[in-house]
Amino acid sequence: MLNDDQLILLEDAPLPGQVGRGETHWPLLIVDDDEDVHHATEFALRDLTILGRSIEFLHAYSGREAVDVLRQRNDVAVVLLDVVMEREDAGLLVVDRIRNELGMAAVRIVLRTGQPGYAPELDAIANYDINDYKTKNELTRGKLFTTVTSAIRSFDQIRCLEAARNGLEIIAETTAGFNPELGMQAFADSVIVQLAALLQAPPDGLVCSRNVPEAAAKGEAAIRVLAARGRYLSAVHEPLSMLGEDHARRVLLACLKERRAIWDDAGVALYYPGCDNSDFAVFLGSTATIACIDHHLIDVFTTNVGLCARNVGLVDRLRQAAYRDPLTRLPNRAAQIAAIDAAEERIAGEAYVLALIDIDQFSETIDAFGYRFGDLQLQSVARQLRNRLPANVFVARVGSDVFGVWGPAATVAPENLRNVLKVPFETEAGLYTVSFSIGLVRAADTHAGGADLLRDAAIALKRAKLEGPGHDAYYTTEVGVQTRHRMRLLHDLRSALDRQQLFVVYQPQIDIASGRVLGVEALVRWRDGEGQLVPLEQFIGIAEHSGLIVGIGAWVLRTALEAQRQLSAAGHALRMSVNVSPVQFRNEGFVRMVGAAIAEAKADPSLIELEITESVALYGWPQVIEGMRSLKALGASIAIDDFGTGFSSLSYLARLPADCLKIDRSFITALGNQHSGTPIAEMLIQLGQQLGMRVIAEGVENEAQMATLARLGCREAQGMVIAAGKPLPELLNWLAEREQ
For residue range 278-331, list pLDDT tens digits in order: 788 889 886 554 443 456 666 667 766 766 666 565 445 545 556 788 899 899
**Range 436-459 burial, b when 16+ CB lie within 10 A, else e:** bbbbbbbbebbeeebeebbebbbb
Q: Pseudo-torsion of CA 149, 152, 157, 159, nearest 10°?
A: -170
- Helix, strand, coil fractions of the chain, as percent rounded to 5: 50, 20, 30
Q: pLDDT band for position 649 (50/70/90)?
A: low
CATH superfamily for domain 174-323: GAF domain (3.30.450.40)
**Range 35-63 burial, b when 16+ CB lie within 10 A, else e:** eebbebbeebbeebbbeebbbebbbbbbb
CB-count burial class (<10 Å; 0-12, 13-18, 19+) for 255: buried
The CATH number that domain 25-165 falls under is 3.40.50.2300
Query: What letter does residue 230 receive in the DSSP assignment?
Result: G
What's the CA gap between 610 and 651, in Å, rounded?
Answer: 21
CA distances to 332, 362, 367, 376 from 371, rounded to whole Å, are: 20, 10, 8, 9
Residue type, 640: I
Q: Which CATH number applies to 333-475: 3.40.50.720, 3.40.50.1000, 3.40.50.300, 3.30.70.270? A: 3.30.70.270
Please, are residues 475 and 440 in contact by the beta-carbon 8 Å criterion?
A: yes
What's the CA gap between 673 and 691, in Å, rounded?
Answer: 26
What's the CA gap between 699 and 667, in Å, rounded?
Answer: 9
What's the CA gap between 66 and 98, in Å, rounded?
Answer: 9
What's the CA gap between 617 and 627, in Å, rounded?
Answer: 11
pLDDT at 13: 37
Phi first, then psi: give them for residue 454, nearest 5 degrees: -60, -40
Q: Provide the mean pLDDT of the chain.
A: 82
Taking Cα atoms as reference points, which of 273, 281, 302 lies closest to residue 226?
Answer: 281
Asked which of 90-94, 204-208, 297-301, 648-652 is least confident by mean pLDDT, the reply is: 648-652
Asked whether residue 174 carries a pLDDT value surpassing 80, the answer given is no
Dmax (CA) of the chain: 121
Residue 21 in 3-state DSSP?
A: coil
pLDDT higher at 682 or 405: 405
The whole-number average pLDDT for the span 143-169 is 73
pLDDT at 343: 80
Domain boundaries defined on the chain: 25-165, 174-323, 333-475, 499-739
What's the CA gap between 357 and 438, in Å, rounded?
Answer: 5
pLDDT at 628: 92
pLDDT at 265: 75
Asked which of 20-24, 199-203, 447-451, 708-712 is least confident by mean pLDDT, the reply is: 20-24
Please, are residues 465 and 358 in contact by the beta-carbon 8 Å criterion?
A: yes
Query: Distance between the two ends of the chain, CA-based, in angstroms?
Result: 85
Percent residues over pLDDT 70 in the chain: 80
pLDDT higher at 541 or 396: 396
Angle of helix 292-323 versus helix 141-165 axis, rounded to 10: 90
> Which residues, in sequence order, are CB contacts of 118 under 8 Å at separation 6+?
83, 84, 88, 89
Beta bridge partners of 108: 78
What's the CA gap between 28 and 18, in Å, rounded?
Answer: 17
What's the CA gap between 123 and 111, in Å, rounded?
Answer: 12
Phi first, then psi: give them for residue 367, nearest 5 degrees: -60, -35
Angle of helix 548-569 versus helix 477-499 axis, rounded to 10: 40
Cβ-based neighbour number of residue 88 at 10 Å: 14
pLDDT higher at 60 or 261: 60
Please, are residues 492 and 456 in contact by the beta-carbon 8 Å criterion?
A: no
pLDDT digits (tens, 9 = 90+) for 144-155: 888 899 899 888
Q: pLDDT band for position 142 (50/70/90)?
A: confident
**Range 660-684 burial, b when 16+ CB lie within 10 A, else e:** bbbbbbebbebbeeeeebbebbbeb
Strands (E), 168-313: 205-211, 223-229, 262-264, 267-273, 278-285
pLDDT digits (tens, 9 = 90+) for 518-564: 999 999 999 887 888 888 888 888 888 778 899 999 999 999 999 99
pLDDT at 387: 92
The CATH number that domain 499-739 falls under is 3.20.20.450
Please, are residues 134 and 111 in contact by the beta-carbon 8 Å criterion?
A: yes
pLDDT at 185: 66
Q: Are strands 608-613 and 637-643 parallel, antiparallel or unpaired?
A: parallel
What's the CA gap between 365 and 358, in Å, rounded?
Answer: 13
